Structure 1
Amino acid sequence: MIQPEPQSIGLSSLLNNIESGRIKIPQFQREYVWEKKAASQLLDSIAKGFPIGTFILWETQEELRSVRNIGNHLLPDTPVGHIAQYVLDGQQRITSLYTCFKGLSINKNGKMEDFSDIYLDLEAEEDGEIVTIDYEMGKPTRYIKIYDLLYGKISTLAKIYTEEGLEKIDFYKARFTSYQFSSVVLKNAPLEVATEVFTRLNVGGKTLTLFEIMVAKTYDQEKKFDLAEKFDLLMDDIGEDYKTISSSTILQTISLILKKDCTRKQILKLDKVSFIEIWEPATLAVKKAIDYFKNQYGIPVSKILPYDALLAPFSYFFFYHPDRPLDRKKEYLQDFFWRVALSERYSSGVETKLGQDVKKIEKILDYQLPSYDYEVNISADKIIEQGWFSTGRSFIKALLCLFASKGPKSFADNTKVHIDNAWLQIATSKNYHHFFPKAYLKGKEDEYYINHILNITIVDDFLNKRVIRAKAPSIYMSDFKRNNTELSKTMESHLIDLNNFGIWDNDYDTFFNKRAELISKELNSKLILKNKKPIADS
């Protein structure tokens, strides 16, 4: 059972517990953001005996990634034989107390801020500002630094302050040292409960991500495993082309490999030792899956991948099948990819569906064609119906993957169009060219049919901006034809038949319908439909 236990702790014990490593600040806490004025007001409340709120601490034997440095003071690991208490609520207050009472400086945005410059005003009235950052030069006997108040030698202080001043110093020192700080210690709580408590306590503040929790949970100093650093290295290895892949997808992949389940609850339950051991082979499988997307499916960048989550089942496949698949496995994988992408399967309930799809991947690993409880409509009519161009939709991204897989060539000279993540972030990118320019069609067609995936090609930015603009297709294509003797082949790379799509007559209806039919045919070749037989093993 979870037992929240109210406790009180004196200043000396609180500071000792922080300094010795028994009270720790988990890495998922936000940065220290308080200004020195806020810290002085906290100390002012203590000097007056006011309550300053309750600290919520989580007592656990789990070793979490924690903040190692407060101010300019490096904190040690939790002593052997002691249980750590992680701060779930009260981090700003605890950090302020420790920093002020130890007279430390804090680096905030590259600027050192000295928290030892907080003073007690010995002449202040009880209802006035007793603790302050406003020090009046020329009145050294009126103020004393908080650090000196607590730790200054009497012999030294007696040389500066009057007898009345020394009495006030003793009075306020007793106020600080006898103050009892209220805390609630959460014992016997699993990580998922502790982080849920943290999230609820921080409503309106920072939302704690699953990745941040797992960074804390899987940290192992002895094994030099830091998930945050490992993820950054993985992204560097993957490179810019697939750098938009999310950290949650990597966590889902590892959980699928370990448990065939990737719900948040399951990920939080993953054993730290198993997680660390599986990291290298699992992320190698991720890189192999990315290479497969690039080389087999012609998807050069992650921005047009219908779902990041598609990487998880493919990584699962390559974890158990390190080599490039041939024969039926290759065909079954292709069928799986396009079914998920075109059906918009991962648009909801993705964690549950990934758990289901792992079973399909296992069938593929065993040379079996999975059964699907849903059909995919790839008819020309369906493409027309679902084709409003928005790069946030998986169906549209699937068709962009199809376009990219054809290796689109430049209209100008038949060289390959470079596709970059930075280009493809928004639908208004200049690299998405409306083959019949929007300005040309305005007033002639409904906006839905103008801004449609069937009217989109992927071109060079320079070409779109400066050459095509709002010209009729027959005009700008005639210009390209004079310089590009392979223009017909160029247009084939865009799934456009130069001579049979009504281009020379500026016939948009013909172009629109013919391209829908050709794209439908291409998609049909990638799926294993009921009337098609899978290929035999090679």
Structure 2
Amino acid sequence: MATQRYSVTPHPIETLLTWVKSGEIAIPEIQRPFVWDSTKVRNLIDSLYQGYPVGYLIAWRNPNLRLKDGTISAGKRILIDGQQRVTALMAALLGHEVLTKDYETVRIRIAFHPGEERFEVHNSAIAKDRAWIPDLSHLFAPDAYLGDFVDDYVKRNPETDRKQIGRVLERLKKIVNNHIGLIELAEDLDIETVTEIFIRVNSAGVELSQADFAMSKIAVNERYGGNLMRKAIDYFCHLAVAPEFASKIEKGDPDFARSEFWPAIRWLRDVNDALYDPTYTDVLRVAFTFEFGRGKLQDLVALLSGRNFETKQYEESTAEESFAKLKSGILAFMKKTHFDRLTMILRSVGFVTSDLITSRNAVNFAYIVYLRGRREGLPPDDIERLVRRWYAMSILTGRYTGSPDTAFDLDIRQIETQGLRDYAEAIIASELPDTFWTGMLPQLMETSSAQSPYFIAYLAAQARLGDKGFLSKDITVRDLLLNRGDKHHIFPRRYLQQQGMNRGRYNQIANFVMAQSEVNIAIGDKPPEVYFKEIAEQVNGGPKRYGGITDPETLKRNFEENCLPISLLSGQVPDYETFLAERRRLMALRIKRWFEVLG
């Protein structure tokens, strides 16, 4: 029978809140936005009032670290599950402010109606209704006396029964005596085991990740500046989405504005580019993998805890060194010239809108390739070439879609051993041999997912190669992508539906071209043999029905750029499945041409 690796002890809410205030239990998420809405806070208080269970909290004491003088330092308890509930209790009962998703500092006021014994989120109607106690945190203030509270309420509501009101408010005030179970993980558990527990445990329905755990570890470490580092990551990600938030940082967080991190990220206030808006997971992945030469985020958690992988001991010097290295990696990620160059390279490959950025981890490793290239002193042109080709290869092969931790770890360790250029070129050659373009890729393109990496790569190829939209004389695919042009069914959808085809067949990616909406509308539901015949007539002196192309040579070039068999113009329209097979072959060759241009 396995040994139990934890203890479960019920504690009064009042005791737990006292521990949090004193720092006995550290809430690692304290600088992250409070994600519960106000109604969930109300429901939590109501559950306590009704005597319902509200789940367990889970804490783990940081490993004991060996200090430089040889003594042992006991770590704080970290609350690894239950942060939202504890924050909600502190907001509702103690009147603490919380950070919203918009990084605004607000008070969540929960009102109470003693007569109806009902809780509500404070609003303007409640503020005008004397039957409500507008903010129950006043009842829980250290100097609040229940008798005075009852007297004041009855004075405002003389029709109420003083004894009844007194009993109700006394019951409400006693909710801090309710017990919540605290699961404390054994202090001798290693990081890997705690990490596994952290990921498995979940009371809110949202999977907790290694990045969450790492961010928690960073936030609670003030000795090595983890609290400011944590803010820098959060603020960077927020500014990337909402540059106007900069003024709130400068006014609302003067301590951070005076830190070395603010000059490193404030350039985002003048940028409105949504091509790649990183999350904190992205920042950590890139910074850690680039700086530490490792790809598994659980290793970052261990290193920040002081785990020396050589001695298997937890040492303060390891924690200090790890925080310093992580800080260096984060600053490299945030540097304007680095970030700008990455997005410029992505655009140069043809990924011109955020809609085409469907694999964040492929972008993340492309950024690592860029940063490693700079560290190895490669010429800028060589770095850009490597990043372009590696990113394209990653998209086409789905290199980071399965288990990114494992893939990142494999690639960065090999780069450490072999050097970036040699390893990247060897992998690209082995992953994309000549047979890939003619054998495997056309088969992979038999899909109806417009978000498939192969269709995304095809659109990027057209954007990079300067291809014109279907039947467009001047408008390019790049223009259409930037202005949300239409994906047009070559064999019209309604036409195929009438033949009994389902969505999976008529929405095959080989049946799509990028087209101007007016071209799409003009074609409508016409059978392909009809409108292709009319297109042929248009370039031979006939009426202009579709776009502005009026000469055969321009039309032929347009068909080649859009991977359409020229035979369609001579009235030879094959059956749908034959057409799809031929177009997949042509699209694969177009993608191959694109990849050749990248290098």
TM-score (normalizing by structure 2): 0.62
| 2:238 paired with 1:226 | no
Per mean C-alpha deviation after superposition, the further-off stretch among 472-481 and 188-197 is: 188-197
TM superposition shift of 1:255: 2.8
Q: Distance in 2 between matches of 1:185 and 1:344?
A: 40
Task: List per-residue Cα deviations over 1:55-102 (Å, max 9, x = no partner).
Answer: 43334499xxxxxxxxxxxxxxxxxx9965444455576556555654
Long gaps (5+) in structure 2: 65-72, 121-125, 156-160, 220-225, 244-267, 304-321, 539-543
| 2:110 paired with 1:56 | no
Match of 1:74 in 2: none
TM superposition shift of 1:227: 1.8
TM superposition shift of 1:242: 2.0
| 2:290 paired with 1:291 | no
SS in 2 for 1:470: coil
Match of 2:409 in 1: 355
- Whether the aligned pair in 1 keeps the contact of 2:58 and 2:80 (CA below 8 Å) is yes
- Whether the aligned pair in 1 keeps the contact of 2:27 and 2:78 (CA below 8 Å) is yes
TM superposition shift of 1:458: 1.6
Match of 2:460 in 1: 401
| 2:295 paired with 1:262 | yes
Counterparts of 1:192-231 in structure 2 under 5 Å?
196-203=196-203, 205-219=205-219, 220-222=226-228, 225-231=231-237
- Whether the aligned pair in 1 keeps the contact of 2:533 and 2:569 (CA below 8 Å) is yes
- Whether the aligned pair in 1 keeps the contact of 2:9 and 2:182 (CA below 8 Å) is yes
Q: Which amino acid aligns with 2:205?
A: G
Match of 1:386 in 2: 444
Match of 1:152 in 2: 145
Give % identity. 14
- Whether the aligned pair in 1 keeps the contact of 2:350 and 2:463 (CA below 8 Å) is yes
1:370 to 405, 408, 426: 426
Match of 1:70 in 2: none
1:461 to 517, 539, 547: 517
Match of 2:182 in 1: 183
Q: Distance in 1 between matches of 2:5 and 2:558?
A: 66
Q: Distance in 1 between matches of 2:373 and 2:12?
A: 59
- Name the larger-Rg structure: 1
TM superposition shift of 1:501: 0.4
| 2:349 paired with 1:274 | no
Compared CA separation, residues 264 and 35, structure 1 to 2 (3 A): closer
Q: Distance in 2 between matches of 1:520 and 1:167?
A: 78
Q: Distance in 1 between matches of 2:398 and 2:482?
A: 21
Match of 1:16 in 2: 18
Q: Distance in 2 between matches of 1:518 and 1:214?
A: 46
Task: List per-residue Cα deviations over 1:165-198 (Å, max 9, x = no partner).
Answer: 9998999799778877653444646776556545
Q: Which amino acid aligns with 1:432?
A: K
Match of 2:254 in 1: none
Per mean C-alpha deviation after superposition, the further-off stretch among 392-401 and 180-189 is: 180-189
Compared CA separation, residues 436 and 175, structure 1 to 2 (3 A): closer
SS in 2 for 1:415: coil
Per mean C-alpha deviation after superposition, the further-off stretch among 262-271 and 375-384 is: 375-384
Q: Distance in 1 between matches of 2:165 and 2:588?
A: 89
More helix by percentage: 2
TM superposition shift of 1:414: 1.0
Q: Which amino acid aligns with 1:458?
A: M
TM superposition shift of 1:491: 6.0
Q: Which amino acid aligns with 1:57?
A: A
1:414 to 474, 478, 483: 474
- Whether the aligned pair in 1 keeps the contact of 2:41 and 2:92 (CA below 8 Å) is no
Q: Which amino acid aligns with 2:234?
A: A
Q: Which amino acid aligns with 2:362?
A: L
For these two proteins, the number of residue pairs brought into alignment is 485
Please give the root-mean-square deviation of Cα atoms over the aligned residues, in Å.
Answer: 5.4
Q: Distance in 2 between matches of 1:10 and 1:397?
A: 55
| 2:353 paired with 1:301 | yes
Compared CA separation, residues 222 and 245, structure 1 to 2 (3 A): closer
- Whether the aligned pair in 1 keeps the contact of 2:57 and 2:81 (CA below 8 Å) is yes
Q: Distance in 2 between matches of 1:166 and 1:331?
A: 75
- Whether the aligned pair in 1 keeps the contact of 2:290 and 2:368 (CA below 8 Å) is yes
| 2:568 paired with 1:503 | yes
Per mean C-alpha deviation after superposition, the further-off stretch among 215-224 and 256-265 is: 215-224
Compared CA separation, residues 84 and 132, structure 1 to 2 (3 A): farther
TM-score (normalizing by structure 1): 0.67
Task: List per-residue Cα deviations over 1:445-495 (Å, max 9, x = no partner).
Answer: 98888654444322233432x223234123246226884457744763663
- Whether the aligned pair in 2 keeps the contact of 1:262 and 1:355 (CA below 8 Å) is yes
SS in 1 for 2:475: coil
Compared CA separation, residues 485 and 54, structure 1 to 2 (3 A): closer
Q: Distance in 1 between matches of 2:99 and 2:218?
A: 27
SS in 1 for 2:60: strand
SS in 1 for 2:355: helix
Q: Which amino acid aligns with 1:253?
A: V
Q: Distance in 1 between matches of 2:508 and 2:165?
A: 82
Match of 2:306 in 1: none
- Whether the aligned pair in 2 keeps the contact of 1:103 and 1:116 (CA below 8 Å) is no
Compared CA separation, residues 325 and 117, structure 1 to 2 (3 A): same
| 2:473 paired with 1:473 | no
- Whether the aligned pair in 2 keeps the contact of 1:409 and 1:415 (CA below 8 Å) is yes
- Whether the aligned pair in 2 keeps the contact of 1:433 and 1:456 (CA below 8 Å) is yes
Compared CA separation, residues 351 and 370, structure 1 to 2 (3 A): same
- Whether the aligned pair in 2 keeps the contact of 1:3 and 1:187 (CA below 8 Å) is yes
- Whether the aligned pair in 1 keeps the contact of 2:563 and 2:587 (CA below 8 Å) is no
- Whether the aligned pair in 2 keeps the contact of 1:335 and 1:526 (CA below 8 Å) is no
SS in 2 for 1:457: strand
Compared CA separation, residues 174 and 337, structure 1 to 2 (3 A): closer
- Whether the aligned pair in 2 keeps the contact of 1:380 and 1:517 (CA below 8 Å) is yes
Q: Which amino acid aligns with 2:145?
A: G
Long gaps (5+) in structure 1: 63-80, 122-128, 424-429, 529-533
Q: Distance in 1 between matches of 2:196 and 2:465?
A: 47
SS in 2 for 1:475: helix
